[in-house]
């Protein structure tokens, strides 16, 4: 079949297998060129099919020679419909890693269930005995509580009052304004249930109890803080409440995992185009401004570049894990530099339809968005028939 991008709002419903293969190969190539580093060899990634989780998995495998198990939830292909992007990434990752002689297994399953956790524990016992690193990189709009059976939704809304701000329609390349009503208390609580630390805690306590965490094992979950410019919708919004909850869980988990000499912590990552971040209002305009400035200054990184630097220098570097006084690892160090943020602030007030292309990297945003669905890759003939099964 011919597979074309089908974009509705800020969501692309299709993915191109050949482009997804290119995307994976490019990330592996980056890690190969960046070079090997030493880290323990058995890794579990929750949410390893896309974005930050995939970047971590590729860095651990091709940089640190680690065997990896990935749990992600992706739409499978049918003869008539392509899969979601992460389904192809996991398939091609497992093939490429195995070719390299590495253990690589992907489970397409809902990580929020007890059944999945039990299946993963069995898989760890079968393949590794124990794991040395657990990466928690899930981003989901819904979660069914595994005990009560109740389904919770995560929303991206401000708290307290309606928030009106500039935004961008990145598909059409136009600056517009969005107004988002404040979340209800129930919506805030739902977002914390989905994106907070409850599920991460269930995972770590379950793995500890089953004795599948190796001595000295580490666990990392990902968060975002960002500048004041995006506070109302991010850090001081519903998702921010969830992230604060995740960060508080890290302290509790850190104490719990000390029993085996391990540690649990949160890494605050940079704002980047992923399927999860494209749907957050206001954030695409911020990311477009950020990309432009970080590229101009030669300090732009994508997911795999961030996660390679994190593992090599901030988690398994010569001084061990580099955490701040709040226990956080900072991969947002370059994003939050004063010179970068001052420029974003100055440009934010001026940005309009006419100067969007010169002040912001809207083309770069759109290109990343297309490419993470396998489109716009040079060397792929998009007019040719392709097997959606990959
Ligand atoms: P993403 O959309 O690229 O990836 C999300 C992953 O979660 C995918 O592998 C998906 O399959 C998996 N997933 C979702 N629901 C699942 C379920 N029920 N069971 C199993 N797997 C499931 O997202 P991302 O942007 O890489 O986000 C990952 C983490 O990084 C999140 O915690 C996010 O808040 C954080 N983060 C993102 C950014 C950013 O700008 N993108 C910045 C800082 C931190």
Q: What is the pLDDT of residues 304-330, one digit of tens each?
A: 999 999 999 999 999 999 999 999 999
Burial label for 108, CB within 10 Å (0-12, 13-18, 19+), is middle
Q: Please tell me if the CB atom of residue 70 comes closer than 6 angstroms to any atom of ligand 1.
A: no
Is 163 considered catalytic here? Answer: no
Whole-number average pLDDT of the chain: 96
Cβ of 84: how many Cβ atoms within 10 Å? 22
The model's pLDDT over 168-211, given as tens digits with 9 standing for 90+, comes to 998 888 999 999 999 999 999 999 999 999 999 999 999 999 99
Angle between helices 17-34 and 51-58 (to 10 degrees): 50
Determine the pLDDT at residue 367: 95
Q: Tell me the mean pLDDT in the region 84-95.
A: 98
Q: Please tell me if the CB atom of residue 223 comes closer than 6 angstroms to any atom of ligand 1.
A: yes
**Smallest Cα–Cα separation from 365: which of 93, 91, 84, 172?**
172
Q: How confident is the model at residue 278 (pLDDT cuts 50, 70, 90)?
A: confident
The model's pLDDT over 248-274, given as tens digits with 9 standing for 90+, comes to 999 999 999 999 999 999 999 999 999
pLDDT above 70 covers a percentage of the chain that reads 100
Determine the pLDDT at residue 9: 84
> 49 CA distance to ligand 1 centroid (A)?
9
Cβ atoms of 220 and 266 within 8 Å: the answer is yes
Name 323's Cβ contacts closer than 8 Å, sequence gap at least 6.
265, 329
Cβ of 11: how many Cβ atoms within 10 Å? 12
> 47 CA distance to ligand 1 centroid (A)?
6
* DSSP code for 99: H
The model's pLDDT over 335-376, given as tens digits with 9 standing for 90+, comes to 999 999 999 999 999 999 999 999 999 999 999 999 999 999
> Residue 277 pLDDT more than 90?
no
Angle at CA of residue 50, ends 134 and 190, nearest 5°: 75
Q: Please tell me if the CB atom of residue 275 comes closer than 6 angstroms to any atom of ligand 1.
A: yes
- Domain annotation for the chain: domains and CATH numbers: 7-371 (3.40.50.720)
Name 148's Cβ contacts closer than 8 Å, sequence gap at least 6.
none
> Residue 156 pLDDT more than 90?
yes
Q: Please tell me if the CB atom of residue 112 comes closer than 6 angstroms to any atom of ligand 1.
A: yes
> 138 CA distance to ligand 1 centroid (A)?
4
How far apart are alpha carbons 380 and 247 in whole angstroms? 42
**Beta strands at 7-8 and 11-12: parallel, antiparallel or unpaired:** antiparallel
Q: Please tell me if the CB atom of residue 52 comes closer than 6 angstroms to any atom of ligand 1.
A: yes
Q: How confident is the model at residue 280 (pLDDT cuts 50, 70, 90)?
A: confident
> Residue 228 pLDDT more than 90?
yes
> Residue 159 pLDDT more than 90?
yes
- Of all atoms in ligand 1, which is nearest to the CA of residue 372? 3
How far apart are alpha carbons 303 and 307 in whole angstroms? 6
- Of all atoms in ligand 1, which is nearest to the CA of residue 47? 9
What is the chain's Cα-based Rg? 20
Q: Whose CA is nearest to atom 8 of ligand 1?
A: 47
- Of all atoms in ligand 1, which is nearest to the CA of residue 246? 32
Q: Please tell me if the CB atom of residue 307 comes closer than 6 angstroms to any atom of ligand 1.
A: no
The structure tokens listed for 157 are 């809304």
Q: Whose CA is nearest to atom 9 of ligand 1?
A: 47
The structure tokens listed for 381 are 């003939």
């Amino acid at each position: 079949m011919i597979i074309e991008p089908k974009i509705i709002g800020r969501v692309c419903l299709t993915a191109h297998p050949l482009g997804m293969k290119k995307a994976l190969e490019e990330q592996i190539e980056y890690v190969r060129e960046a070079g090997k580093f030493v880290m323990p060899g058995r890794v579990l990634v929750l949410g390893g099919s896309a974005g930050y989780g995939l970047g971590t998995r590729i860095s651990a495998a091709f940089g640190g020679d680690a065997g990896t198990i990935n749990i992600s939830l992706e739409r499978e292909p049918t003869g008539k419909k392509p899969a979601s992007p992460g389904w192809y990434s996991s398939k091609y990752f497992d093939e490429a890693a195995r070719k390299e002689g590495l253990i690589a297994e992907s489970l397409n399953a809902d990580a929020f269930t007890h059944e999945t956790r039990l299946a993963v524990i069995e898989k760890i016992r079968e393949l590794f005995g124990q794991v040395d690193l657990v990466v928690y990189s899930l981003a989901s709009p819904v979660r069914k509580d595994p005990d009560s059976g109740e389904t919770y939704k995560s929303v991206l809304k401000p708290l307290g009052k309606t928030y009106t701000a500039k935004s961008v329609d990145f598909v059409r390349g136009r600056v517009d304004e969005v107004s988002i009503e404040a979340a209800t208390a129930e919506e805030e609580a739902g977002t914390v249930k989905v994106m907070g630390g409850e599920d991460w805690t269930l995972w770590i306590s379950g793995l500890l109890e089953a004795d599948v965490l190796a001595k000295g094992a580490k666990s990392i979950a990902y968060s975002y803080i960002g500048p004041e410019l995006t506070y109302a919708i991010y850090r001081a919004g519903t998702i921010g409440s969830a992230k604060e909850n995740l960060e508080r869980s890290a302290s509790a988990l850190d104490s719990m995992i000390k029993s085996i000499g391990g540690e649990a912590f949160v890494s605050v990552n940079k704002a980047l185009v992923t399927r999860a971040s494209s749907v957050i209002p206001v954030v695409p305009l911020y990311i477009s401004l950020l990309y432009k400035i970080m590229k101009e200054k030669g300090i732009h990184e994508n997911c795999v570049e961030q996660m390679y630097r994190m593992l090599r220098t901030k988690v398994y570097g010569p001084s061990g894990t580099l955490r701040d006084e709040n226990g956080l690892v900072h991969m947002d160090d370059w994003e939050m530099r004063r010179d970068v943020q001052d420029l974003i602030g100055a440009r934010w007030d001026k940005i309009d339809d006419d100067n969007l292309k010169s002040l912001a990297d809207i083309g770069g945003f759109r290109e990343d968005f297309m490419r993470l669905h396998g489109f716009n890759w040079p060397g792929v003939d998009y007019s040719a028939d392709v097997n959606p099964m990959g």
